[in-house]
Structure 1
C-alpha cells in the first residue's frame, strides 16, 4: 500500500540522490513515505532519506515534527537491527529528539544512524538528520532486542 503521488512527489522523485533506493513498507510506514535508503559502505549501517512533500508539512509549509520523529524512529530502529544482524524487528523503548532547524517543503531530508552500544537486550543509537545538508533534528533511541522468535524480520532485505 503506497500513498498517492502528489505533483510534488512525482517531480521530486527524479531528484533523489544517487545511491538511494525506494524502501518498500506496509501499513503506517508505507503512508509516511516514500522513503529511500541504502547501507553505508564503511559500517554497513542504514542511511535513509525522503523528499518533503506538502502532506508532510505543518501549516507553515515546514516538515511536521511528528514526521521527522517518525523518520528518526525508523532510522534508529533499523540502525540497531542491522547492527545486531538484521534479523529482528526491534521495538522502541525510548525516543528523544531536539529540533534544531526547519525542513522546508521540497527539501531532501537525510539521516544516518550511529550505534552507541549494544547489550544482550538493548540497542542504543543516535542520529543527526539534515534538510538539504543543514541539521534539522538530533535524536537518540533505545531499542529492545527481543528474545522471542515472533519478532523475526529480514530488515537487511529492505535495503536491497
Structure 2
C-alpha cells in the first residue's frame, strides 16, 4: 500500500486509491484511524494536505465533526512545516487554535494549505486554511516545538 520516499521525512508514498503518489505518515495510530490524511508538494514548493470526508467523520448533525477538522489541521500543521523539520527530528504541537468557518459534507474533498510564518529555530509558527470542496471550513494557527529525544 505504501513505500518510503525521499524528502518527506518519515512519510511514505501511497500506492493505491484516490491519493496515489501522495504521502502520509503511517506511524501514528490515531491519525491513521482518523484519516488517513495525505500531503504532496505543489509546484510552488508549498504543501497541500487532503483527505476524502466519509460518514465516519460526521457529527450527529450530519456535518464533519469539529474534532476531525482540528485533527486534520494538526496533520496539516506538520505537512506545511515539513521543510523546517529534518528527517528523524522530533517535534510536538505546542498550540493549535482554529476558527470554524463553514460545514463540510460527507463526500467532500477536504484540503489544507498554509504557510510557515516564522521558522528557522526550535519553534515553528504556522497558519493555514482548511476547505471542503473549495469552501472555507476552518482557519487555523499553530506552533510546533522541536526537541531532542532523550535516551
- Which TM-score applies when normalising by structure 1? 0.74
Corresponding residue for residue 100 of structure 1: 101
> Structure 1: 5+ residue runs without aligned partners?
1-12, 151-160
Higher helix share: 1
Corresponding residue for residue 65 of structure 1: 66
Higher strand share: 2
Q: Secondary structure at the match of 1:90?
A: strand
- Which TM-score applies when normalising by structure 2? 0.78
In the TM superposition, 1:28-107 aligns within 5 A as 28-43=30-45, 45-80=46-81, 82-87=82-87, 88-107=89-108
Corresponding residue for residue 142 of structure 2: 141
Q: CA deviation at 1:22?
A: 5.4
Q: Secondary structure at the match of 1:76?
A: helix
How many Å separate the matches in 1 of 2:63 and 2:131?
Answer: 13
Q: CA RMSD in A?
A: 2.1
How many Å separate the matches in 2 of 1:67 and 1:20?
Answer: 24
Higher relative contact order (CA 8 A, sep 6+): 1
Structure 1 residue ranges, 4+ long, deviating more than 3 angstroms after superposition? none
How many Å separate the matches in 2 of 1:24 and 1:93?
Answer: 20
| CA distance 1:34–1:79, shift in 2 (3 Å) | same
